[in-house]
Every structure is written in structure tokens, then in C-alpha cells.
């Protein structure tokens, strides 16, 4: 019997076991049916899995995990598939497990200010359901209309308001999850802490590699009575960066603090009609929220600091619709990039804020070096950059240059004292840059964490933490000046 | 100095010895007594000093032996502070011990815990490898969040040699209000109702039918909240002393010989009255999510009460008379088997020879 046949027989056996566990239509195996699952938001990498399963209940999900463990088949969990780092890129020999059918809001407790939801619930749906109690769920990634809370837990997602309100890890009280051992485990709980090690902290942001989330309890907080946003214009991006430091030094923690450079505002404006100052070299969006008195006091204080820091113009949102328009422009930056260019590559490095001017100048030089455009949007409050490299995937040279450009940016982030990913995750996209950020001993300790939860390495294998071998190979490639930082998927 | 610590750990690893990690020793009483009474001490105090602090980055990096008090003075000189208001429990408290103990103070319910503010850490693991996790930036999802895992780990995974913390500006204005004649159930109702409204509540405490509430934030917000809430304001010095004594457990409630139980429960659960009613001695913090109970009742009774309420109970301080007795209950609520197994595997990965703080968190870890 040749190997192909053996593989095909093994696949048939797996499919028939999965079909016996799940209702009809919840196990997909044809290329056509699985096509929507071949990539997540990182569309550079596409791969069809052996099978795609869509459990509707925790019991079904648990049964799938049991079968996969017994058959030694890798599992790649997937939320809404909006992730930008390939965390949900399927495994060629694995099962893709989508939580899309587990999308019920199980309970909202307005007194305890919590929501208990299944992993497939959309981020924004939680806030919509809590709105009648004057409450909301704070983390608001740009994809919040579509992204799921299970995916947010896997990536430790942020958003434009996390400087003041925190990331997913600060807003989740409890995760119920299925381990590869086939056990249902509660991490965290209804109280503010749990006995023993803080495993919830390490589970959040673990990119589906430690356990599969089946239920999440999130904190809800009171919706501020009022929010207003300042749009400040600057003649120079470095001056805008210094203005951010000046705000923080003045003891202000804005509810949101975002920067966009001129290429970004000009890219977004025709798309979003946000009312941005297109003549400014950079704009800052700076938001205050709270009681009307508090907002008035804070807007006055912020305006004073921004003017002193060299803002050439300030516009304060006069209405809720104008404020939302300011934000709509920022939140639509990625779709806008998709409109002006056949493809875009969104980077996610974080740097200490004081290095911002240096970073933006380096990106300008890289634009010249690679002959590509790269508008910048930036969570200025927390140092998280989103340069958007515009390219054409149908042109192999353009793709290769975009990838090399991206790798340069990420490695500069590490050199400036930052990190290769602030909120999008490592996935497969930044796995080579992890070799730059973490020495071998640290990476081996990460594998130790992985083994503690998943001794056989079946949950989302090959993502997030590069092997020693892979880093050695990447090192050689760099030495030889290879242009392609992403070798084929078969290496993962 | 890090090299000396590393040498000590490597020697212990190779020689099959155990080490007891200790900073100022202000929390020696917390957790289980380390197994093996004469375990040599690894003293972290020599590895001290602030490594980096740029107030406009909202991040401070300090070596483990840096005195907590010194760090707080440096931050205060720049109008900043540690958001969770951690307890010291003595003048010698160090930042390494603060993070390893994972204890947070009165501001925890509104601002977050010490774990929430950990951005990065350096760790000497049980092989004597000096590893760096996380970083000095506020957003960082590269690799597993090992630095946050270290908060509250009581040293069982290794020596935290350096830590980077997010810091926050000190509030512009603060006021403390006192409400008399409030029964516990009424205090819980009020605290949960207020927490659901956009009010600048930064701390709360209830005991002896008296509720204290601290407001922190913009001057205008404090004024508006005071107007809405009523109550009697404390003068600034009395208010500062009140919250400090609560944080440091030097308030009268914490004196005496009864065992002190820490019940961590969802804030909205009604007053805990297991076994026909717990003794009256209770003090509430964190909007009702933290309930201190002075009680000589058996551990299983208190643990069952906390569990039924959706939380857990810690034997925070053993009473002196109890300490004289024989078999003692564990300090921390027992773990479910699946969770315990993950704990055991993590311990084996970080500290394979079992060098550090053996038994401090749970027997065998």
C-alpha cells in the first residue's frame, strides 16, 4: 500500500468518526465547502485542512477533541477568522475547529456586571446586549463588528480604548475550556482572583495552543455618560509624537489616543468622510469620557497641552455623530487600504513611545528602499504601530518586497526596545521575528508552558513559538540575504 | 549581583538542594511554611535599584530587591503611582516580593490587580537560566504571558529578578465618604449599584455597620459624585490613615488571635452565613468582592461557603492558638485535579529539580 492510500484511508476513518459525533452539515470535507476556512485575515497563507468541524455544543467540541487526540490529529481552533497573523491558518494534516455555531449569550448579570457567553459571540454583540443596563464590554478591536470573543481571548485583543480600559486580559474574569486531555477546566471564576497560579493570565493570548475556549465570562463596565474627541493637527509627525508624551506627562490618560499620518488620512478620507485635516502631516485623535463636568474639564486640559505641544489646529467633536465619524475613519483604515491597493500587509509592532519619531523616519527610508507605500496608523497612547504596507500579491516581486519590508519594521521594533506584536498575535506571520525577539532559552521555556497544557503538541502546532531548527534556518537565510522571510507552509 | 544569584541557584540545582526565596521577609507568614525548616535562604535584597523609569512612558522597571517604599516615593515625585496600591506588611517590603505574593490593595476592584500591571519580568528558573519575558511596552502579545503568570506564584517557578510595571498618574482629586448605620446586605446592595454607574469609586470598606467609600478622579467628577451620594466626608489626613491601615491590616479588625480568612467571591453575593451564620466579625472590601472573616470555624465550612458563593477561601493568617494545634488546613483552597496537573507540569518545566519554595503554594509544588 503506498502512503497516499494510507493517508486517504486514515482521513476517511477520521471523517466517519467525526460524522458520527456531529449533526449533518457540521463536518465539512470537500474543497468547496472548506474554501471559506482556508485562511484567516492573513490571506497570504492559504491551506485546506483534512476536515472542518463546527460543533454546536461543548459536548460536541469535547468529543471532537477526544477523537483527534486518539488519532493524533492536530486541531486548529478558529473564531470568526478575522485574525491578522495566521493564528487560524489550517494545518494540512489537521482538523479546523470553528466555534462559529457556539454563539449564544448565556447570561447577562447587570448587578454583578458580567456577561457569560459562548466563544462564537461577536465582540460588539456583548456590548449591544448589555446596553439596556447602561453597561458595555470595553475592549474594542477595529474588527469588533465581526470578531468573536473566543478569538479575542486567544489573541488578547486590544482596541482603540485600551490605554484607559485595558486589554482582553484585564476584562475577562473566567474562561471555561476543553484541554487536549479531554477535560473541561475552569480558569478564573466569578471572583476577582482564584487559588493557585494565575493560569487565566497565560491562557489569554495563547493563540489557541493551550486549550479550546467553550465559555467566557467578561466584565461589563458602566457606559460613560458622555465622550468627546479632539482632532489635533500637526505639521510634523515627530511633533505629534512629542505631544503624546506631553499629554501623558501631564497626568492625562485619554480614553482613546490615536495617531494617523498624512498618507493614512488621505487614504481613509474618501472612504469614510471622517472630516480629517488632510493638510496636516499627522493628526491625533484624543478622547475624554465620563460625566459632562469631567469631560469638560479634561477636554480643556488636553487642549491646553496639545496647543503648547505645537498643534496647528484643534477640533473638538460637537456631537456624538461627529465623534463617531472621527473614529469611523480610524476604524476603517484597514478596509480603506484594501480599497486603494490590491493588497495590504498590516504590521503590529509596539515601541516605547519616545522612539516614535525615529521609527517613522526609518519607515520613510524603507518606503524608498523597497519602493512601496506605507501609510501609518498608530495606537499612540500605548506605542502600538500599524504600518500598512501596500502591495500587489499577484506580482511575486511586490509580495517578496512587502514581506521583507514588514520583517525590517518588526526587527527594528525589537531593536528600539519593543515587541513584534502588540495585539495581533504571532501566529505564523511573525514566527521568524520571534527568533529575533527571544533567545533560545526563553523559547524553550515557552515550549515548556505549551507542554504543561498540551504534552503531545496537538493544539495549533507550529504557531507562535519557533523551534530551534526554524530559528537556525532563519538566521542562515538572513546571512545569505534571502529576500523571502516566509518559506512554504510545509515547513510548519 | 544577578550573577551571584544565578550561581547560588545553579549550585542548588546541581547539588539537589532547596532554596527559600526571600526579600524583606514581610510576608513570611503568607502561604504554607516551606517544607524543610532549615532550607537555605536566597536573599534578593542585594539585587536592587530602579533600572529604567520614564514617566511619559508610564512604565517603571526595577530589580527585585528594590524597596517598595523607595519605588513609591520615586513614582510619587513624578505624580505617578502603582495602580493597585499593594500592601507592604512591613518596612522592608520589596517589589519582587510584592509581585510574587500577588496581593493588591484597596484600589484593586476599580484599577486592577498587581498582575494586571505587570508588563515584563526577568526570571531565574530552576536550572539557573536567566530569562526575560514580556517587555517594557504596554501592549505585547509575543509568546505566552509568562510575566503575568509569575504574579502571585509565590516563587515556585523561580526568582523574579526584575519586573516592569505599568504605572498610572495619581488622581487629581480624592474624597472619602462615611455612611453610618448601614447593615452588610444594604452595603452590598449600594456598592454593586454604584459600581454599575459611572461614578469615580476607587475603594470601599464596610465593617461594624459603617461604610467607607473613596472617590478618585477629576475634581468635577468628585464634586458631582459627592452631591449624588451624600455621606459624611473625612478630612484628608484621616482618610489617608484609614485606607493605609486597611491596606496594611493595622486596623483594629485585624488585631487579635482568631484565624483570618480571606473570602474572594463575586461582589453581588449576599452576606456569607454558612453553618447557620458566620460569626459577626466580617470586613468587606473591593465593592463586596473581598470579605475578611475572623473565624475559628473548620476550614471545610468556610471553604464550602466560599465555593457555594462562586469563590474561594484562603486561610490568610493562622491564629496563634490555632498554630499551636496539630494538623493544619492548607492555606489555599484545593485545586481541581485537572488544574493541579497543569500546576505540577508547569512546576516541572520551570523548576525540574524542585529548588524553589517547595510546598509554599501547595504541597508537592
Fold classification of B173-252 is: Alpha-Beta Plaits (3.30.70)
Identify whether the C-beta of residue A155 lies closer than 8 Å to the C-beta of residue A172.
no
Mean pLDDT of A21-42: 96
Identical topology for domains B2-169 and B258-318: no
Q: How confident is the model at residue A353 (pLDDT cuts 50, 70, 90)?
A: confident
The whole-number average pLDDT for the span B148-167 is 98
Tens digits of residue pLDDT in B60-71: 999 999 999 999
Q: Furthest-apart CA pair in chain A: how many Å?
A: 78
CATH 3.30.70.2190 domain position(s) in chain A: 226-335
The C-alpha cell that represents A462 in the structure block: 507550529
CB contacts under 8 A, A 11-50 vs B, are: none
DSSP β-ladder status, B41-43 and B20-22? parallel
B146 burial (CB, 10 Å; 0-12 / 13-18 / 19+) is: buried
pLDDT digits (tens, 9 = 90+) for B232-267: 999 999 999 999 999 999 999 999 888 999 999 999
Q: Which grid cell is A213?
A: 475556549
C-alpha cell of B351? 523548576
Residues of A in contact with B200 (CB under 8 A): 290, 294
Burial A381-394 (b: 16+ CB within 10 A, else e): bbbbbbbbbbbeee
Phi, psi dihedrals of residue A143, rounded to the nearest 5°: -90, 20
- SS3 label, residue B303: helix
Q: Among candidates B192, B181, B174, which has minimal Cα distance to B271?
A: B192
Q: How confident is the model at residue A475 (pLDDT cuts 50, 70, 90)?
A: confident
Write down the pLDDT at residue A291.
86
Residues of chain A with CATH 3.30.465.10: 105-222
DSSP state of B181: S
| Chain A residue closest in CA terms to B153 | A197
Query: Is residue B336 less than 8 Å (CB to CB) from chain A?
Result: yes
Q: What is the dihedral of CA A184, A185, A190, A195, to 10 degrees?
A: 160
Could you tell me the fold of the domain covering A226-335? Alpha-Beta Plaits (3.30.70)
Q: What is the pLDDT of residue B33?
A: 84
Q: How far is A6 from chain B (nearest CA, A)?
A: 35
Mean pLDDT of chain A: 93
Digit-coded pLDDT (tens) for A105-140: 999 999 999 999 999 999 999 999 999 999 999 999
Interchain contact A369–B (C-beta under 8 A): no
Q: How far apart are CA A406 and CA A369, in angstroms?
A: 12
Would you call A189 an interface residue with chain B, using a CB distance cutoff of 8 Å?
A: yes
Q: CA of B143 to nearest chain A CA: how many angstroms apart?
A: 6
On the CB side of A60, how many CA atoms lie within 13 Å of its CA? Answer: 19
B2-169 CATH:
3.30.465.10
Query: Given 3.40.50.300, 3.20.10.10, 3.30.465.10, 3.30.450.70, which CATH number is that of A105-222?
Result: 3.30.465.10
Q: Report DSSP state, residue B233.
A: E
- Interchain proximity B149–A197, CB inside 8 Å: yes
Chain centroid to CA A239: how far? 28
B133/A contact by beta carbon, under 8 A: yes
Nearest to A421 among B131, B141, B290 (CB): B141
Q: What is the pLDDT of residues A173-209, one digit of tens each?
A: 999 999 999 999 999 999 999 999 999 999 999 999 9
* Distance to chain A for B326, nearest Cα, Å: 24
Helix (H, G, I), strand (E, B) or coil at B183: coil
Banded model confidence at residue B39, pLDDT cuts 50, 70, 90 = confident
Total residues belonging to chain B: 365
> Measured at the alpha carbon of residue A381, what is the angle toward residues A380 and A382, in degrees to the nearest 5?
95
Tell me which chain A residues have a C-beta less than 8 angstroms from the C-beta of B310: 189-191
Where are chain B's structural domains? 2-169, 173-252, 258-318
Nearest to A218 by CA among A117, A120, A87, A141: A117
CA distances from B246 to B106, B107, B204, B286 (A): 8, 11, 10, 12
Average pLDDT over residues A422-447: 95
Report the chain B residue with the minimal C-alpha distance to residue A158: B139
Label residue B275 by pLDDT band (50, 70, 90). Answer: low
Of the candidates A131, A139, A168, which has an alpha carbon nearest to the alpha carbon of residue A153? A168
Phi and psi, residue A389, nearest 5°:
-80, 120
Specify which residues A228 forms β-bridges with.
A288
CB interface of B with A, residues 301-330, below 8 Å: 310-312, 314
Q: Are A168 and A206 in contact (CB under 8 A)?
A: no
Which residues lie closer than 8 Å to A288 by C-beta, 6 or more apart? A227, A228, A229, A230, A254, A255, A294, A295, A298, A299, A302
**A vs B: CB pairs below 8 A:** 270
**If you measure CA to CA, which chain A residue comes closest to B314?**
A195
CB B355 within 8 Å of CB B24: no
DSSP H or E run through B301? helix B299-308
User: Which candidate, A140, A58, A158, A143, places its Cα nearest to that of A104?
Assistant: A58
- Architecture of the domain whose range is A341-491: 2-Layer Sandwich (3.30)
Architecture of domain A3-98: 2-Layer Sandwich (3.30)
Grid cell 481613509 — which residue?
A: A268
Copy the grid coordinates of residue B246.
486597611
Cα-based angle A308, A313, A315 (whole degrees, multiple of 5): 110
Grid cell locating A258:
490615536
pLDDT at B321 over 90: no
Q: What's the pLDDT score for residue A96?
A: 98
C-alpha cell at A206: 495563547
Angstrom distance (rounded) from CA A108 to CA A134: 12
Which one of 3.90.930, 3.30.70, 3.40.50, 3.30.60 gives the CATH number of domain B258-318? Answer: 3.30.70
Q: Which 14-53 residues of chain B touch chain A by CB within 8 A?
A: none
Enumerate the residues of chain B whose CB falls inside 8 A of the CB of residue A417: 135-137
Contact A201 B148 (CB under 8 A): yes
For residue A216, the distance in angstroms to the closest alpha carbon of chain B comes to 15
| Span A236-271, pLDDT tens digits | 998 998 999 899 989 999 999 999 999 999 999 998
Mutate to test the interface with B, among A155, A198, A224, A349 (most CBs of B within 10 A): A198
Amino acid at each position: 500500500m503506498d502512503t497516499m492510500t494510507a493517508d486517504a484511508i486514515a482521513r476517511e476513518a477520521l471523517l466517519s468518526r467525526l460524522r458520527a459525533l456531529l449533526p449533518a452539515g457540521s463536518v465539512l470535507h470537500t474543497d468547496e465547502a472548506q474554501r471559506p476556512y482556508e485562511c484567516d485575515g492573513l490571506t497570504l497563507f492559504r491551506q485546506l485542512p483534512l476536515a472542518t468541524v463546527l460543533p454546536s455544543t461543548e459536548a460536541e467540541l469535547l468529543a471532537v477533541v477526544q477523537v483527534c487526540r486518539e488519532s493524533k490529529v492536530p486541531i486548529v481552533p478558529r473564531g470568526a477568522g478575522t485574525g491578522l497573523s495566521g493564528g487560524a491558518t489550517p494545518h494540512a494534516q489537521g482538523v479546523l475547529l470553528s466555534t462559529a455555531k457556539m454563539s449564544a449569550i448565556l447570561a447577562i448579570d447587570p448587578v454583578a456586571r458580567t456577561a457569560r457567553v459562548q466563544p462564537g459571540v461577536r465582540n460588539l454583540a456583548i456590548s449591544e446586549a448589555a446596553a439596556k443596563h447602561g453597561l458595555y464590554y470595553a475592549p474594542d478591536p477595529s474588527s469588533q463588528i465581526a470578531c468573536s470573543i473566543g478569538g479575542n481571548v486567544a489573541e488578547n485583543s486590544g482596541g482603540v480604548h485600551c490605554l484607559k480600559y485595558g486589554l482582553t486580559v484585564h476584562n475577562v474574569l473566567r474562561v471555561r475550556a476543553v484541554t487536549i486531555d479531554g477535560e473541561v477546566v475552569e480558569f478564573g471564576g466569578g471572583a476577582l482572583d482564584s487559588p493557585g497560579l494565575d493560569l487565566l493570565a497565560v491562557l489569554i493570548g495563547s493563540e489557541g495552543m493551550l486549550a479550546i475556549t467553550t465559555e467566557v465570562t467578561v466584565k461589563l463596565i458602566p457606559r460613560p455618560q458622555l465622550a468627546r474627541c479632539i482632532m489635533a493637527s500637526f505639521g510634523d509627525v515627530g511633533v505629534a509624537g512629542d505631544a503624546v508624551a506631553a499629554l501623558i506627562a501631564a497626568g492625562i490618560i485619554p480614553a482613546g489616543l490615536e495617531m494617523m499620518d498624512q498618507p493614512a488620512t488621505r487614504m481613509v478620507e474618501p472612504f469614510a468622510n471622517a472630516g480629517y485635516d488632510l493638510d496636516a502631516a499627522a493628526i491625533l485623535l484624543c478622547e475624554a469620557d465620563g460625566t459632562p463636568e469631567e469631560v469638560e474639564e479634561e477636554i480643556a486640559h488636553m487642549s491646553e497641552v496639545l496647543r503648547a505641544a505645537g498643534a496647528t489646529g484643534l477640533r473638538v467633536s460637537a456631537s456624538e455623530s461627529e465623534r463617531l465619524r472621527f473614529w469611523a475613519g480610524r476604524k476603517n483604515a484597514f478596509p480603506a487600504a484594501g480599497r486603494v491597493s490590491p493588497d495590504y500587509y498590516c504590521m503590529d509592532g509596539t515601541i516605547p513611545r519616545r522612539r516614535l519619531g525615529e521609527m517613522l523616519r526609518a519607515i520613510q527610508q524603507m518606503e524608498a528602499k523597497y519602493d512601496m507605500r506605507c501609510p501609518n496608523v498608530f495606537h499612540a497612547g500605548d506605542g502600538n504601530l500599524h504600518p500598512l504596507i501596500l502591495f500587489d500579491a499577484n506580482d511575486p516581486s511586490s509580495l517578496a518586497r512587502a514581506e521583507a519590508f514588514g520583517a525590517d519594521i518588526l526587527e527594528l521594533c525589537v531593536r528600539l526596545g519593543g515587541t513584534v506584536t502588540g495585539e495581533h498575535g504571532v501566529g505564523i506571520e511573525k514566527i521568524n521575528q520571534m527568533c529575533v525577539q527571544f533567545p533560545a532559552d526563553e523559547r524553550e521555556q515557552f515550549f515548556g508552558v505549551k507542554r504543561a497544557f498540551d504534552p503531545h503538541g496537538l493544539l495549533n502546532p507550529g504557531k507562535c513559538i519557533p523551534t530551534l531548527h526554524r530559528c537556525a534556518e532563519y538566521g542562515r537565510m538572513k546571512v545569505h540575504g534571502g529576500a523571502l522571510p516566509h518559506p512554504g507552509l510545509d515547513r510548519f | 549581583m544577578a550573577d551571584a544569584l544565578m550561581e547560588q541557584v545553579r549550585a542548588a540545582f546541581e547539588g539537589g538542594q532547596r532554596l527559600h526565596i526571600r526579600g524583606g521577609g514581610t510576608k513570611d507568614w503568607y502561604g504554607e511554611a516551606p517544607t524543610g525548616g532549615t532550607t537555605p535562604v536566597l536573599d534578593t535584597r542585594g539585587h536592587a535599584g530602579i533600572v529604567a523609569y520614564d514617566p511619559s512612558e508610564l512604565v517603571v522597571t526595577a530589580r527585585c530587591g528594590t524597596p517598595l517604599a523607595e519605588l513609591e516615593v520615586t513614582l510619587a515625585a513624578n505624580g505617578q503611582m502603582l495602580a493597585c496600591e499593594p500592601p507592604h506588611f512591613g518596612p522592608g517590603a520589596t517589589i519582587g516580593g510584592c509581585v510574587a505574593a500577588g496581593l493588591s490593595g484597596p484600589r484593586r476592584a476599580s484599577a486592577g490587580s498587581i498582575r494586571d500591571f505587570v508588563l515584563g519580568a526577568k526570571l531565574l528558573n530552576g536550572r539557573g537560566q536567566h530569562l526575560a519575558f514580556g517587555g517594557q511596552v504596554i501592549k505585547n502579545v509575543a509568546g505566552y504571558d509568562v510575566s503575568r503568570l509569575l504574579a502571585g506564584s509565590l516563587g515556585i517557578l523561580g526568582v523574579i529578578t526584575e519586573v516592569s510595571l505599568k504605572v498610572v498618574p495619581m488622581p487629581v482629586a480624592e474624597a472619602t465618604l462615611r455612611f453610618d448605620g448601614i447593615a452588610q446586605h444594604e452595603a452590598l446592595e449600594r456598592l454593586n449599584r454604584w459600581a454599575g454607574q459611572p461614578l469615580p469609586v476607587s475603594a470601599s470598606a464596610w465593617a461594624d455597620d459603617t461604610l467607607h467609600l473613596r472617590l478618585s478622579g477629576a475634581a468635577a467628577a468628585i464634586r458631582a459624585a459627592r452631591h449624588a451620594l451624600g455621606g459624611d466626608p473625612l478630612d484628608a489626613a484621616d482618610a489617608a490613615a484609614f485606607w493605609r491601615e486597611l491596606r496594611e491590616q493595622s486596623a483594629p479588625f485585624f488585631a487579635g488571635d482568631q484565624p483570618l480568612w480571606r473570602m474572594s467571591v463575586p461582589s453581588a453575593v449576599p452576606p456569607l452565613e454558612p453553618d447557620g451564620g458566620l460569626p459577626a466579625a466580617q470586613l468587606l472590601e473591593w465593592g463586596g468582592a473581598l470579605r475578611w472573616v475572623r473565624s475559628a470555624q473548620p476550614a471545610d465550612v468556610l471553604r464550602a461557603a466560599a465555593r457555594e458563593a462562586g469563590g474561594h477561601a484562603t486561610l490568610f493568617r493562622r491564629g496563634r492558638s490555632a498554630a499551636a494545634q496539630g494538623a493544619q488546613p492548607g492555606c489555599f483552597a484545593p485545586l481541581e485535579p485537572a488544574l493541579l496537573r497543569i500546576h505540577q507540569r508547569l512546576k516541572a518545566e520551570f523548576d525540574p529539580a524542585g529548588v524553589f519554595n517547595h510546598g509554599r503554594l501547595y504541597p508537592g509544588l
